[in-house]
Chain A
Amino acid sequence: MSEMSGAAALMAALEKEKVDYIFGLPGGANLPIYDALVDSKIRHILVRHEQSAAHMADGYARIKRKAGVCFATSGPGATNLVTGIATAYADSSPIIAVTGQVALPMIGKDAFQETDIIGVTNPVTKYAFQPRVASEIPEMVKKSFYIAESGRPGPVLIDIPKDVQQQVTKMEFPEYIKVRGYNPIVDADLSEINKACEMILKAEKPMIMAGGGVILSGAFSELQALAELLSIPVVTTFKGKGAFPENHPLALGPIGMHGHAEANKMVQEADCILAIGARFSDRTVGRFDEFGKDINVIHFDVDPAEIGKNKSVNAAVIGDVKSSLRSLIKLIPKNLRTNEEISKLWLGRKRELVNYYEDSIKDYSREITAKKALKKLREILPADGIVTTEVGQCQMWASLHFDVISPGTFFSSTGLGTMGFGFPASIGAKAARNDIPVVDIAGDGSFSMTENSLAVSVLEKLPVIVFLLNNQMLGMVAQWQRTFYNRRYSGVHQKNCPDYCKLAESYGAQAHRVGSMDELEKSLKVAIKSDIATVIDIPIDPDEDVYPFVAPGTGLKDMIIGA
C-alpha cells in the first residue's frame, strides 16, 4: 500500500486497465488529473471540443473492442460530453467518461462551473460513480471497466470532485471486484436454444437478421458458420452492417428505412426469422406489428429487457450471442441434409430479387454521384480498411452502396443518429488501429459540426480520410422536404461555405476537390498512402435522393424504390 493522490490513483488504475489513449480537454476542476497525467505513460489526445473526445473514445472502443476513455472538466466540459455519451449509450458502446467536479463542500452551492452531471447523464449511462474519498477511486475505476465492457456494453461516468482528486491517502488496488446487483448472463438456457434449433430446422424459408450484438460479441465466424451450415440468407440491421461479409453469396445487406430493396423484400417472404443481437428498432422493421407477423421469430440477445420490448417472439435465447451461436451450431446434426430442393428454391428467390432490383432501380445520372463514388471507394480501399460515417444521406448511401467485406470494419452512429460523430470517431478508430486506413464517409452538414477535429488529426498524427459527399445541403432533411413537404425547403441550405479544401489546408491537412471519377480514384490512392489527414471534397448534385425509402410509420412492404 502506497500513499498517493486521488488523481494519481486514477491514472494508476487506468494504467492497470491497459488504457493506452485518453481523449480529453482540461479545465479548472480536473487540473489535478491533468497534473497526474504528466507522469503517466498513457497518451493523451487533446481535443478542441469535448463532444469529439467522447466520439473518439467511442470510435476507439468499437474497433479495439475494449472501453475508450475520455476526460472533461466540470460544468460545460461535462455537458459537452453528453451528446457523445448518449451516442455511445444508444449504440451500446463502452466508454469511460471521467469528469472533474467542484470540491465536495461546494457541491449544491451553484458553484462556478458546477453541473450535476450524474443527474444530467442518468438516462444515457449504464452507471455512474462519484467518489467521496480518494481511496474509493481504484475500486470504482475497476468496476467502471467491468460494467462498461460486460453484458450489454455501455458508457460509465466517473465524476470526481476536485478535493477528492487532491486528497493524498493510502491506496489499495483490488485484483477482483464484485458488483452484487449486476450479473450479466453469459450462457443461455439450453432448452431455449433447443426450441430455437427446432424452429430453424423446420423452416423452409429461414432468414437470419444479424444486429450490432454480433459485432459487439465478435461472433463473426459463428454467424458465418451457421449461415453456411444451413444455407440461410443473412440480412443485417444497419448497426449490424458488416457483421457478415457483404460480398458473401448468402448476404443481402441491411434492411430498414433505407435498406437494400432485395433484403427488405425477402425478409417479408421468410417463414422464420432468427434475430441475433438485434433490437427490432423502428428504423429497421418499419412497423412492429407487421414485421415477422404470423411466423416464428427467434431472438438471441444478451439483454433480457430487449426480449419482447418492441416485438413479441416465439423463442428467446438470452446470453452472449457468440456463446449461444456456438451451442446452437453444436445442436445441428452433423449429417443433416437440408431439403435441397426447398433450399434451392429459397436461394433462387434471392438471386431473382437481386436481379430484379438491379434492373428496376434507376441510377441517378451525373458524372459523379454518391453511389458511383462509394463503389469507387470500395474498389480502392483495402478489404480490411475501417469505415465510419457521418449522419444523414451520406450514411444511408454508405449503407446501400458500400459493401463491407471484412467483418467488424464498419460502424456508424446508428441509434442516436448523431451528426458530427463520424470524423472524431474515425480518429479514435485510427488510434485503435494505426496500421490500417480509416475513412469517414461524410456529408457537408454533419462534417461541419466537428470539423475542428482536423487539428487533432494533424497534430496527433492520426491521419484519416474524410470522404466528403458535398451537396451543400442538409441533404436528408431536404429529401424529406421534397418528399413530404412539397419541396418547401426550410433551413437546409449550407451553400458553399466554408471552402472545405481551404479549411483543411488551414489546419495543415491535405485536400483535393475532385471533378471526375478519375480524379477521385487518383486522390483516394494518394490519401490512403498519406501520413496526413486528407479531405476529399466530392461535389454531388443536391437533388440526388436516397432510395429505396420506407416512409416513417409504414411497413417494409410499403417500400418506395424510386422517385
Chain B
Amino acid sequence: MQKNKISIFDDDNENKMYILSVIVENKPGVLFRITNLFRSRNFNIESITVGITEKPDLSRMTITTVSDVKTLEQLVKQLQKLIDVIQINVLNKENAVYRELALIKMNAKDPTTRIEIANFATIYRGNIMDISNETITVEIIGTPDKIDAFKNLVSSYGIIQVARTGVSALPRGAVNDDL
C-alpha cells in the first residue's frame, strides 16, 4: 500500500507552505518519534496539531511546513518510513479545507478602543471571549493568513498575548483515507 496518495511533486523549487495530514497510531511515543525526525533531519515545523480521528486507535496529525518540493519529498518519504505512520496526505490551499483558531489579547483601556476592536472582530467573524477594564480577548478562526491579517490590523492597540492552535485540515470532497 502506498501511504502517500496525493502527488504534489512538481518542479517548483520555491519555498511554499505545505500541510501534511498524517494518520498515525494513537499510542504513546508517536508524537515524539515524528518531532524527533523533523529535528534530526533538519526539517522545519511551522505548526503541529494532534487529535484522535473517527477511529479511536488512530490519530490525525496536521503538520504545516515551509519548504521546497525536493525537501518536502524527502520529508514525506522519511515520515513514511516511520512504522507508526499509517498514511500521509499532502494538502495545499486548493485541495483542502484548513482552519486555525487564535486567541488574541489586546490592550483596551479606552472604551472607544474596545468598540473599534469589537467592530474589527465582527468583520473578521471573530468572537469576543473576554473583556475587562484593561483588555479585550478575541477569538479568530480561519486560515493562518486571515489570522495574520487580523493581528496586523490590531497590532497598533498593543497585543499582550497570542495563543494559536496551529492548522487543522481535511482534504476536500470524496477523498477518503481508505483505512
Contact = CB atoms under 8 A, between A and B. Distances in A.
A308 B29 contact: no
Given A122-B32, A122-B36, A303-B81, A181 B25 contact: yes
A305 interface: yes
A351 to B, nearest CB: 40
A304 B77 contact: yes
Interface of A: 118-119, 122-123, 126-128, 147, 179-183, 303-305, 307-309
Given A127-B83, A181-B83, A307-B77, 9 more contacts: A122-B33, A181-B3, A181-B24, A181-B85, A303-B81, A304-B77, A305-B81, A308-B73, A309-B74
Nearest to A152: B81
Interface string B30-74: 001100100010000000000000000000000000000010011
Interface string B152-167: 0000000000000000
Contacts of A126: 83
A147 B83 contact: yes
Interface residues of B, number: 21
**Most-contacted residue by chain B among A147, A180, A181, A307 (CB, 10 A):** A181
Contact of A183 (B1, B40, B82, B84): B1
Interface of B: 1, 3, 24-25, 29, 32-33, 36, 40, 70, 73-74, 77-78, 80-86
A123 to B, nearest CB: 5
A309 B85 CA distance: 20
B51 to A, nearest CB: 18
B80 A119 contact: no
A181 B74 contact: no
A126 B70 CA distance: 24
A147 B86 CA distance: 15
Given A118-B29, A179-B83, A183-B1, A305 B36 contact: no
A182 B78 CA distance: 13
A48 B60 CA distance: 46
Nearest to A143: B83
A304 B80 contact: yes
A541 B1 CA distance: 57
Nearest to A156: B83
Contacts of B86: 180-181
B72 to A, nearest CB: 11
Given A118-B29, A122-B33, A123-B40, A181 B70 contact: no
